[in-house]
Structure 1
Amino acid sequence: MVRALKVLYVAVGVGLLAAVFAEVEFAEVWSLAVLVGAGGMAVLIVLYAFGFVIDSFTWQMAMAGVPLNARWLWRAFKVRMVGEVFNNVMPAAGMGGEPVKAMLLNKHYGLGYREGTASIILGRTINMVSQVLFLVIGFAAVWASDLPGHFKGLAVVGLLAFIAATAIFFYAQRLRIASATGTWLGRRRWLERINDVLHHIRDMDERLIRFYTQNRGRFVAAIALAFLNWAVGAVEIYVAMIYLGHPVSFADAWIIESVAQLIRSAAFFIPAAVGAQEGAFLLVFSVMTGGPALGVAMALVRRARELVWLLLGAAFGAVYAARPAR
């Protein structure tokens, strides 16, 4: 069943990708994409690396027992690099690399599985909350623009759905819903076996609550830094459009990135959001510039940057695989 779902998710992505390229002339898309060149791609990779360092530091801040120094930042950076490879190739809601990250932290740096897992959940929460802030600004710009009304309506619906999902994810932790549900189920005689794992659930909830209540400064600072990372994505769009020969305002770049990230989040079940990301760029560029080929070219440029980054992550993974455990 699981294997069938994986095949289905990949098929959906491939189908979306085929639909995107059916709407454009590939020769035109390619002629635009190559305008970026090696120099432009290097600039985009440096920009993404800067954002990735910020993202790694926000995750480091979620590790309550870890010092905020350069040594641990480098460790978090490398582990995240490897984790992102799995997050992008596995149809697991972008969570396929999370167990890998927890394992690497434990095996090579002695960080306990519970603390590592808690930091991963906290890091995901921080990213989602900061993404809400980023999207709110982006869709406020959409609402203030002269874009079609139906586009604005869809944007608002998507934003509200994402805000609701983020609120549920956060308050499920804050209100200890997992512990409460587990305790309720544990009282059922036919589910008494889960009592063996209830203490693990309660321990995780306590770690999360302790961070939210005792490390509020870290939590707020991490959200601010994560927001900066999302903004770097808009800068990447802004710079890439200059290389593509169609410069846009920074406000438009923010709108483009907001729509792309929202659709990518909605397509969480598709590995690397294949087809969905391309469709997002096709949609938003068609509405904003009337040039669908330009949107697909932008998508190809981003895919090229992602491929380079994933290869670097795979290289880090190979180094970890060859290194003996601590």
Structure 2
Amino acid sequence: MKRAGVAVLLVGVGLGLFAFILALVGPDAVWKQIQALGLWGFLAMVGNDITATLFWVTSWGVLLYAFGARLRPRDVAGIGIAGFAISYITPIAYLGGEPVRAWLASRKTGASLPTVFATLFVDRLLAGLSLVLFAVLGGAFILTGTLLSPRAKVQVGAGLAVVTAAVLIGVLSFARNYHWLSRIVIALGRLRRSWQWPAAWGEKVHAMEDEMYAAFTRYLPATVLAFALELGSFFCTYLRPQLFFYFTEGRLFTLSDLAVYFNLNAILTTLLWLTPAGMGTAEG
């Protein structure tokens, strides 16, 4: 009951912030922008989002296939989109749907849950690497430009360094099979001797880490292909504002302009994942 209350509260806060931003900008102004987009602009935006989704779903499908979890393309797409939809409306956004994806994929393929969860973790790591790559590219434009003050540049540079280090440490942990995650879970048992679950969970996490290690060794070609597809998905996200403003105002952005938008969106989305997909916050 408490979880339901928290979920309702977070959704309410997210929708409230979205409504506040909409009221601040003006519903009429927003509607005029939508009308200015036109039919071709609308189709271009929809096509861009569909392409991004196909890249992402195919990336996960490549990992599943490499790990022996064979699914038809439509099943991969259905499970992936279902998981994303659940993630978008649950607290701790972009995580709530992962157990659903794992359970459905495991049920349909007969693969073990540690194996399927390994593909999901690798999928998220590759997404993190893609985000970092585009963010660093954007940071290079921002830090060498004149848009920000010297102090702001230092803050942006520090933020990029922290995010990059965190993602690279995560990748290194699994790529070298250090078992850091399972060690942390097992170590929780030292907090209270009566706890039995840390040891049991630690074994399952250990098995999942071994599967993830295979993604960076035995299945490395498939992992590289999945990473390329993730980059394609993020590139579509990178182009989204260009498509909108081109069809509404005929404006063409420079790479520097697109980089600023992408970095701001990435930072806000990351920081606000504690709300349902940052609903009403990252968008604003």
Whichever residue aligns with residue 258 of structure 1, its letter is N
Find out whether 1:210 has 2:214 as its counterpart. yes
Cα deviation digits, residues 131-152 of structure 1 (max 9, x gap) = 1001111121222332131554
Cα deviation digits, residues 242-284 of structure 1 (max 9, x gap) = 11114132412343133212211211111132221233xxxxx
Unaligned 5+ runs, structure 2: none
Which residue matches 1:301? Answer: none
Find out whether 1:179 has 2:152 as its counterpart. no
Find out whether 1:231 has 2:231 as its counterpart. no
Whichever residue aligns with residue 278 of structure 1, its letter is E
Output the CA distance in 1 between the equivalents of 2:125 and 2:82. 20
Check the 8 A contact 2:93/2:277 in 1, yes or no: no
Check 1:101–1:192 CA distance in 2 against 1; reply closer, same or farther (3 A cut).
closer
Cα deviation digits, residues 194-231 of structure 1 (max 9, x gap) = 43333222211211122223223332332232122211
Output the CA distance in 2 between the equivalents of 1:26 and 1:141. 33
Offset, 1:29: 2.5
Which residue matches 1:305? Answer: none
Output the CA distance in 2 between the equivalents of 1:272 and 1:195. 32
Find out whether 1:60 has 2:65 as its counterpart. no
Cα deviation digits, residues 291-323 of structure 1 (max 9, x gap) = xxxxxxxxxxxxxxxxxxxxxxxxxxxxxxxxx
Find out whether 1:273 has 2:266 as its counterpart. no
**TM-score (structure 1 length as normaliser):** 0.75
Check 1:193–1:59 CA distance in 2 against 1; reply closer, same or farther (3 A cut).
closer
Offset, 1:89: 0.9
SS in structure 2 of the partner of residue 214 of structure 1: coil
| C-alpha RMSD of matched pairs (Å) | 2.6
Check the 8 A contact 2:138/2:263 in 1, yes or no: yes
Output the CA distance in 1 between the equivalents of 2:169 and 2:24. 37
Offset, 1:32: 1.6
Check 1:275–1:165 CA distance in 2 against 1; reply closer, same or farther (3 A cut).
farther
Which residue matches 1:260? Answer: 265
Output the CA distance in 2 between the equivalents of 1:131 and 1:278. 17
SS in structure 2 of the partner of residue 242 of structure 1: helix
Offset, 1:163: 2.2
Offset, 1:165: 3.5
Farther off after superposition, 222-231 or 132-141: 222-231
Output the CA distance in 2 between the equivalents of 1:162 and 1:30. 36
Whichever residue aligns with residue 159 of structure 1, its letter is L
Check 1:155–1:4 CA distance in 2 against 1; reply closer, same or farther (3 A cut).
farther
Count of residue pairs the alignment pairs up: 277
Output the CA distance in 1 between the equivalents of 2:154 and 2:75. 43
Offset, 1:22: 4.9
Farther off after superposition, 115-124 or 175-184: 175-184
SS in structure 2 of the partner of residue 111 of structure 1: coil
Check 1:182–1:67 CA distance in 2 against 1; reply closer, same or farther (3 A cut).
closer
Quick one: percent identity of the two aligned structures?
A: 22
Which residue matches 2:22? Answer: 21
Whichever residue aligns with residue 197 of structure 1, its letter is W
SS in structure 2 of the partner of residue 269 of structure 1: coil
Give the 5 Å matches for 1:1-326: 1-63=2-64, 64-66=66-68, 72-149=72-149, 151-173=152-174, 174-186=177-189, 189-251=193-255, 252-279=257-284
**TM-score (structure 2 length as normaliser):** 0.85
Check 1:31–1:183 CA distance in 2 against 1; reply closer, same or farther (3 A cut).
closer
Output the CA distance in 2 between the equivalents of 1:82 and 1:183. 32
Unaligned 5+ runs, structure 1: 280-326
Cα deviation digits, residues 39-77 of structure 1 (max 9, x gap) = 322221112212212111221232232489xx7443322
Check the 8 A contact 1:58/1:123 in 2, yes or no: yes
Output the CA distance in 1 between the equivalents of 2:25 and 2:246. 21
